[in-house]
């Protein structure tokens, strides 16, 4: 492979940033040599505590047990609201952009504080108290943040479920966490389509008899089924609730939320995060990774149903007193210029989005971006999956006009916050690389036997604890130990494969089961996807493995072409040759299938599991979370036609 292009830190950014290269080196060294002292300083700077800790860290690898800021007391909602009222009570806390252009709402810190206190009292009136679980199944509306913060205020544990999940998925999460109260909306709006949230809740609750209360936000006003005594209108309960609600003092290790993420067994894992350490980590990473400055307009495009929405839409920004933009819609509705219209309308300074969204915009060409000005943008970020170099270059060149540094962030639901990233004024970036660790994070590359590697490919592990890390899987400590701590003793196993280059830069290859063994060689599907998308005819690609009699596994590529490009056997040959040239013959796909669409969830993630089912000739798994289930049927028919 050719050497990657490098982009140096701009002089203006280096002069003005919170952390420059020299400061990072000193900070990182201190964070590793004296982690307790380092994290104590950060905790005192970023969070207000009602009682100090007796010990910064209690850590036992063998159990495993992690306790941060042991004995300390705080309230997360107080840190996100109350303490800002005197200095920035009239500042916009949440800037909301609806699915349809023209509908916006600005919620000040004082207004958000009032709504949170009132809804917290409404929850208390229905018997919700410290430690109780509350399911939140809402669209991207300010009421979602209100519900989360109201739970935090009274010590309840929220479990946010993405509004695109099916009734079956919602039911499973309610039952697993034993929620008695659900917060939802009559409907959601996404890309001009109505999402039947309340109807989905009603279907889920047929198997959840312990749920006694459903709060319903009026979003569209269309007719819905109603169960008297159980169902309550959110706006009516908030209007009549007491506006005074003192925050409950919480232990630093008291649970804050449960968030379900996919498990290898098919059963979702309820990742549990606690209050003190998580908030410290959310606030510090939001401030420094994005070089956040007081008064910036900050936009993370993630839904609150995912951990990115938790940490970088709600808790991190609000703890720092920021204005956070919540967007209900999708990047291409009602036209492919929507993202850039929102940036111009609200004068967005920091944009944090997913490679999938970037590629979707890139496939539409440059013209839609160039209709906008985007002069307010200062920092660009990516999250959710590794970004292929071509998409990185397009984001930097077209969206950022070559002047906005890109922070390509690697982290997980389990880590609570960003772990590996190029701080804007610190790192010479390489498109496609997450670069170097955040202060306090000690990533180590190991082989299958756990031996540390200094360069090359292997398994990504974390060798020291950090405050934002998960504490367990809700209700299943043994599964927690088995998944994260059993494979490589004395270290956290991320489940990801990675490469470490000669400069100490990290290249994330994706989940280990997405790193294929082709004729004895390890080939990362993301690396092959990046090579395919590097071809000028390709808009998007997904690569999976299928069984092969000789090689063990073969590569099957599903490719979407750019507008104006025609599928042909000749183009297939060109793409195979292109991958061979970029990576090597071992990565040459055996099969290439052209498709107008790829199977994606409503949040925009490609469902590679379903593509693998197709390539292996298996019965299709659950398709209820797909934005368009018909895409999979068409691909399956295409694949079967090829086989016959």
**Digit-coded pLDDT (tens) for 567-594:** 999 999 999 999 888 777 778 999 998 9
Mean pLDDT check: name the lowest of 362-366, 482-486, 639-643. Answer: 639-643
What does the DSSP 8-state code read for residue 435?
B
C-alpha to C-alpha distance for 107 and 101, rounded to whole angstroms: 18
Is the model's pLDDT at 522 over the cut of 70? Answer: no
Is the model's pLDDT at 1 over the cut of 50? Answer: no
Domain that holds residue 546: 519-643
Q: Going by DSSP bridges, is the β-strand pair 92-97/323-327 parallel, antiparallel, or unpaired?
A: parallel
C-alpha to C-alpha distance for 62 and 70, rounded to whole angstroms: 19
Residue 573 lies in a domain: yes
Mean pLDDT check: name the lowest of 56-60, 298-302, 362-366, 384-388. Answer: 384-388
CB 136 within 8 A of CB 124: no
Task: Give the pLDDT confidence score for residue 643 in this predicted structure.
Answer: 53
CB 186 within 8 A of CB 198: yes
Task: Give the pLDDT confidence score for residue 220 in this predicted structure.
Answer: 97
Residue 463 lies in a domain: no
- Among the listed residues 8, 173, 155, the one whose alpha carbon sits nearest the alpha carbon of residue 77: 155
Residue 625 lies in a domain: yes
Q: Which residues pair with 349 in a beta bridge?
A: none
What share of the chain in percent tops pLDDT 90? 76
Q: How many CB atoms lie within 10 A of CB 71?
A: 14
- Among the listed residues 116, 84, 274, 243, the one whose alpha carbon sits nearest the alpha carbon of residue 183: 116
pLDDT in tens, 301-345: 999 999 999 999 999 999 999 999 999 999 999 999 999 999 999
pLDDT in tens, 539-560: 888 898 888 766 778 899 999 9
Residue 249 lies in a domain: no
Q: What is the pTM of this model?
A: 0.85
Whether omega for the bond prior to residue 64 falls within 30 degrees of 0, making it cis, is yes
CB 89 within 8 A of CB 263: no
- Token duo for residue 436: 């170097």
Q: What is the CATH number of the domain that holds 588?
A: 3.30.300.30
Is the model's pLDDT at 2 over the cut of 70? Answer: no
User: What is the pLDDT of the chain when averaged over all its residues?
Assistant: 92
Across 367-374, average pLDDT = 97
Task: Give the pLDDT confidence score for residue 622 in this predicted structure.
Answer: 59
Residue 512 lies in a domain: no
Task: Give the pLDDT confidence score for residue 623 in this predicted structure.
Answer: 61
Is the model's pLDDT at 509 over the cut of 70? Answer: yes
C-alpha to C-alpha distance for 55 and 487, rounded to whole angstroms: 29
Whether omega for the bond prior to residue 334 falls within 30 degrees of 0, making it cis, is yes
Residue 574 lies in a domain: yes
Mean pLDDT check: name the lowest of 259-268, 398-407, 632-641. Answer: 259-268
Residue 55 lies in a domain: no
CB 373 within 8 A of CB 400: no
Across 191-210, average pLDDT = 97
Mean pLDDT check: name the lowest of 126-130, 225-229, 635-639. Answer: 635-639
CB 296 within 8 A of CB 349: yes
Number of domains forming the structure of the chain: 1
pLDDT in tens, 452-479: 999 998 999 999 999 999 999 999 999 9
Residue 291 lies in a domain: no
Is the model's pLDDT at 93 over the cut of 60? Answer: yes
């Amino acid at each position: 492979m050719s050497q990657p292009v490098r982009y140096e830190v701009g002089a203006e950014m280096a002069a003005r940033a919170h952390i420059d290269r020299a400061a990072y080196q000193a900070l990182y060294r201190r964070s590793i040599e004296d982690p307790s002292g380092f994290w104590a300083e950060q905790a005192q700077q970023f969070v207000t505590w009602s009682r100090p800790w007796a010990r910064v860290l209690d850590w036992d690898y063998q159990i495993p047990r992690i306790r941060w800021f042991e004995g300390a007391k705080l309230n997360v909602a107080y840190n996100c609201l109350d303490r800002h009222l005197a200095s920035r009570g009239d500042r916009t806390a949440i800037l909301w952009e609806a699915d349809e252009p023209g509908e916006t709402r600005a919620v000040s810190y004082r207004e958000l504080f009032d709504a949170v206190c009132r809804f917290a009292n409404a929850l208390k009136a229905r018997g919700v108290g410290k430690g109780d679980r509350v399911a939140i199944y809402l669209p991207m509306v300010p009421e979602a943040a209100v519900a989360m913060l109201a739970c935090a205020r009274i010590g309840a544990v929220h479990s946010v479920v993405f509004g695109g999940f099916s009734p079956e998925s919602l039911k499973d999460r309610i039952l697993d966490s034993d929620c008695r109260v659900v917060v939802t909306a009559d409907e959601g709006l996404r890309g001009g389509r109505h999402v039947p949230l309340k109807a989905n809740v009603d279907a889920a609750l047929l198997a959840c008899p312990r749920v006694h209360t459903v709060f319903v936000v009026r979003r569209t006003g269309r007719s819905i089924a109603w169960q008297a005594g159980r169902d309550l209108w959110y706006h009516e309960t908030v209007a009549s609730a007491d506006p005074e609600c003192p925050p409950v003092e919480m232990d630093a290790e008291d649970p804050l939320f449960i968030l379900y993420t996919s498990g290898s067994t098919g059963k979702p894992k309820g990742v549990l995060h606690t209050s003190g350490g998580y908030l410290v980590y959310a606030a510090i990473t939001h401030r420094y990774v994005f070089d956040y400055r007081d008064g910036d307009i900050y936009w993370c495009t993630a839904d609150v149903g995912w951990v990115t929405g938790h940490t970088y839409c709600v808790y991190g920004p609000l703890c720092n007193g920021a204005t956070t933009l919540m967007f209900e819609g999708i990047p291409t509705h009602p036209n492919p210029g929507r993202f850039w219209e929102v940036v111009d309308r609200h004068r967005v300074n920091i944009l944090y989005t997913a490679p999938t969204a970037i590629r979707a915009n890139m496939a539409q060409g440059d013209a839609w971006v160039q209709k906008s000005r985007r002069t307010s943008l200062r920092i660009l970020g990516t999250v959710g999956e590794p970004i292929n170099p071509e998409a990185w270059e397009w984001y930097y060149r077209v969206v950022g006009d070559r002047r906005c540094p890109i922070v390509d962030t690697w982290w997980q639901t389990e880590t609570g916050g960003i772990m590996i990233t190029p701080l804007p004024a610190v790192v010479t970036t390489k498109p496609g690389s997450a670069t170097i660790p955040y202060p306090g994070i000690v990533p180590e590359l190991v082989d299958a036997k756990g031996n540390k590697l200094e360069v090359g490919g292997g398994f990504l592990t974390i060798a020291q604890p950090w405050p934002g890390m998960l504490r367990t899987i809700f209700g299943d400590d043994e599964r927690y130990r088995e998944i994260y701590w059993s494979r490589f003793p004395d270290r956290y196993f991320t489940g990801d494969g990675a490469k470490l280059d000669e400069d100490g830069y990290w290249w994330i290859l994706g989940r280990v089961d997405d790193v294929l063994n082709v004729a004895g060689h390890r080939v990362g599907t993301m690396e092959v996807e990046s090579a395919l998308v590097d071809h000028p005819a390709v808009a998007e690609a997904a690569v999976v493995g299928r069984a092969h009699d000789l090689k063990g596994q073969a590569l099957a590529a599903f490719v979407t072409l750019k507008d104006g490009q025609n599928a042909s056997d000749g183009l297939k040959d060109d793409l195979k040759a292109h991958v061979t040239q970029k990576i090597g013959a071992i990565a040459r796909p055996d099969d290439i299938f052209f498709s107008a669409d790829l199977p994606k969830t409503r949040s925009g993630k490609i469902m590679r599991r379903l593509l693998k089912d197709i390539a292996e000739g298996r019965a299709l798994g659950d398709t209820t979370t797909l934005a368009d289930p018909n895409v999979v049927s068409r691909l399956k028919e295409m694949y079967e036609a090829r086989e016959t």
